[in-house]
Structure 1
Amino acid sequence: MRTPRVIAARGLRRRRDRDATGLFLAEGPQAVREATGIQELFGTPSALERYGDLTESARRAGARISPVTEDALEALAETVHPQGLVAVCEQPGVPLEEALARGPRLAAVLAEIRDPGNAGTVLRTADAAGADAVVFAGDAVDPYNGKCVRASAGSLFHVDVVRAPEPAAVVKAARDSGLTVLAATGYGDTDLDELADAGGLARPTAWLFGSEAHGLPADLLALADARVRVPLYGRAESLNLAAAAAVCLYASARALRRL
């Protein structure tokens, strides 16, 4: 049975409803385990029992626990084989000024990246590399898109997630706060390994990544402190966005560990 609350929650699969309410859906036990700000936890009776620790944790945090039928759960979920739990959560995002005021040592700026799977994977990688903030800049995908949330594997709740309308303003604000801004591009005039060997990564850094289809526009490249390419030692033509981001972020993480 699809109750009015189920119908309202299902609307959060649409961006306009997420933007209007400041809420979004986190699907599956892994996302629920990492989630903060859970308002309501929907689950089939069997899933609520199977994941009793998550159910009890959500209840103690003040969430409403709502048993639903398999049909209702499938209406909320976006995966082909849902795992029985879907949480309605408050969006944990923070303003850019607040994220920068915290003095991040490592940040990732996703400029105009529109593929939710790529964006979520980069967010997860940034978290794993120890980044403090991930900025979705310009006409980027909504970080609370269901596919992006799933691809982040809970990392959405671990870092400062920022949405900013103007990528150029993000670069300026990052530089003004003391961050070195490095633009990742296959056509960069600076080699990542050479930069690392010269100590150029051993400082607070914001990495700027563009879409896999179009890369970074010329105006953003011009604003960066350096345009950095990942060296290719084999015969591959290039790296995809997620792989390149992982290489760049971990190179910075390694350098920053020595400080």
Structure 2
Amino acid sequence: MQEITSVQNPIIKEVYSLHQKKRRNELGLFLIEGYKGVSEALSSKLQIKDIFISSDFNKPLTGFPEDKIYRVNEQILKKISTTESPPEIIATAYQLKFSIEDLFKTNNPLILLLENIKDPGNLGTIIRTAKASDVSGIILTDETVDIYNPKTVRSSAANLWKIPIIYMSTKSQIKDKLNKLKSNNFVATVVAENKKPISYYEVDYKKPTILMFGSEAEGLSEELVNQADELITIPMNKQVESLNLSVSVGVVLYETVRQRRFKQ
């Protein structure tokens, strides 16, 4: 275990730079803030670069690699943390790399496709819910927020590294590309009634399925809606315009759980 006392230390400067997406991408690193997140990252065999703990940290460090631990003062923790009240422990970890094939490693995949999601908290919550409901993998398209945004990492509650996530820049033939790996039922969520969607619980999710969701502000693009085999909506009170995106995803995903886990 080593000690760092200055915010001008090159290691601290590098960690602070991870607040920016550009530097995260350049270095292939991201921040994990808090004891639970760091502990679960180590348990999941995520590759950790460095761990920074406060000088008065007193939780057990069993299983923590001592050669990667730095004791630091409160000033340094405030510098490298992205929260108003810094946690007692912060780690840097190497970003994960997945391929499209990683999404299809189960016999009956359930894949989430998210388009143009801007809110990092929403994305993190969706990742957490996806893992809880046995989603096989997640595809992100368009200008979706960086999955290694610190708020996304925190909101995922240590589930970010437990599920394959990939980016696909081209949407025009996404159905053809995915169906080359396995024939899937493409299900798109829409709000417009003129599309004549059915209720989300009327779909058979027991077969290989791609569930597509767009942003709260814009919904799914026509480019993706036109590739769907089925269009769904969530029935709600007419006085309510819409649900939060992460809530909508959770509602539909738990119908897939009901059908897949509790088959009639």
SS state of the match for residue 237, structure 1?
A: coil
Deviation, 1:225, is: 1.4
1:97 aligns with 2:101: yes
Rounded Cα–Cα distance in structure 2 between residues aligned with 1:244 and 1:217? 17
Match of 1:113 among 96, 112, 117: 117
Q: What is the TM-score with the length of structure 2 in the denominator?
A: 0.87
Is the 1:30–1:154 Cα contact (8 Å) retained in structure 2?
yes
Distance (whole Å) between structure 2 residues aligned to residue 170 and residue 26 of structure 1: 32
The residue aligned with 1:6 is: 12
Separation of aligned partners in 2, 1:104 and 1:57:
35
User: Helix, strand or coil: the match of 2:64?
Assistant: helix
Q: Distance in 2 between matches of 1:84 and 1:164?
A: 36
Q: Contact 1:189 / 1:229 at 8 angstroms: preserved in 2?
A: no
Match of 1:74 among 61, 73, 78: 78
Checking the alignment, whether the CA contact within 8 Å between 2:102 and 2:164 is kept in structure 1 is: no
Q: Considering only aligned residues, what root-mean-square deviation do their CA atoms show, in Å?
A: 2.0
Distance 1:77 1:194, change over 3 A: closer
1:195 corresponds, among 168, 181, 202, to: 202
Query: Can you give the 5+ residue segments of structure 2 that lack an aligned partner in the other structure?
Result: 1-5
- Secondary structure, aligned partner of 1:213: coil
What amino acid maps onto 1:208 in structure 2? M
1:49-73 CA-to-partner distances (Å, cap 9, x unmatched) read 32x23xx32317xx61111111111
Q: Tell me whether 177-186 or 98-107 shows the greater mean CA deviation.
A: 98-107
Which piece of structure 1 moves more, 243-252 or 232-241? 232-241
- Matches of 1:169 and 1:45 in 2, distance apart? 53
In 1, the alpha carbon distance for the partners of 2:116 and 2:231 equals 17
Matched, 1:149 2:171: no
User: Could you tell me which amino acid in structure 1 is paired with residue 245 of structure 2?
Assistant: L
Question: Paired residue for 2:53, among 43, 62, 65?
Answer: 43
Using the size of structure 1 for normalisation, the TM-score is 0.89
CA distance in 2, matches of 1:169, 1:141: 22
Moved over 4 A (4+): 101-104
- 1:75 is paired with a residue whose SS is helix
**Runs of 5+ in structure 1 lacking a partner?**
none
For the structure 1 residues 74 and 127, does the alpha-carbon distance in structure 2 shift closer, same or farther, using more than 3 Å as the test? same
Aligned to 1:46, the other structure's residue is in SS state coil
Rounded Cα–Cα distance in structure 2 between residues aligned with 1:104 and 1:87: 35
- Percent identical among aligned pairs is 28
2:3 aligned partner: none
Number of residue equivalences: 250
CA gap of 1:102–1:202, structure 2 versus 1, over 3 A, is closer
**Would you tell me which structure has more helix in proportion to its own residues?**
1
Matches within 5 A, 1:47-62: 47=57, 49-50=58-59, 52-53=60-61, 56-59=62-65
Match of 1:183 in 2: 188
Aligned-partner Cα distance in 2 for 1:110–1:217: 11
Which whole-Å CA distance do the structure 2 matches of 1:58 and 1:91 have between them? 19
